[in-house]
A and B are shown apart, each in its own frame.
Chain A
């Protein structure tokens, strides 16, 4: 299995709702990521989990709450979002660190969850 699976593919939520995005990989990758991508913009890093521990939080507002229950699963809990949070949320995973002389297969991205906040 060489895929990252994200659910749901589309989500519409109100500003008072609580919802969660789910990401799953079975490639044995020990690093997992959440990125946010607005239309015609590059992916922006939100969170990095390394060996199931949060290692990077790019000053993301607390209305976004990540969780890594195990090495294969990554969740993003959403609460009290704003319309400007509408975007494509991409999950990715990777083997770990890239080192000279060792094959490294890059980040594998999921197809994303397209979130609309109304």
Chain B
């Protein structure tokens, strides 16, 4: 079951903040976030496990609301290097089946 991501695309100026959402109609075991730049492989950002936690590193953080089966990725004080397509990936059970959402295209302008 593919998770639903929103928005589909967002354009920011450097220094602005953004939030990307990912939701599922099924109970989730984990939510992953990846960033893929054009022509490159997806790069792992973070994982959130059921238990409703919030994680972060640098100016990128994420939360997982287990009751709503929803995760949000927060990008603060965006930099040009944040540009790319952000995918959430969800797993419904303890296992290796990760299904990616359709992606959110983020473009940061100077």
Contacts and interface: CB of A to CB of B under 8 A. Distances in A.
A100 to B, nearest CB: 5
A106 B44 contact: yes
Interface residues of B, number: 25
Nearest to A3: B41
A42 B94 CA distance: 22
Contacts of B102: 41-42
A97 B94 contact: yes
A98 B87 contact: no
Given A100-B49, A105-B44, A42 B103 contact: yes
B18 interface: no
Contact of A111 (B41, B44, B51): B41
Interface residues of A, number: 26
Interface stretch (A48-56, A60-68, A76-84): A48-56
Contacts of B43: 109
Contact of B47 (A31, A41, A106): A106
Contacts of A110: 41
Contacts of B42: 43, 90, 107, 109
B96 A106 contact: no
Contacts of A104: 47
B51 A107 contact: no
A90 B87 CA distance: 15
B101 interface: yes
Interface of A: 31, 33, 41-45, 48, 50, 55-56, 90, 94, 97-100, 104-112
The 4 A-B pairs at the shortest CB distance, nearest first, are namely: A106-B44, A42-B100, A109-B41, A48-B96
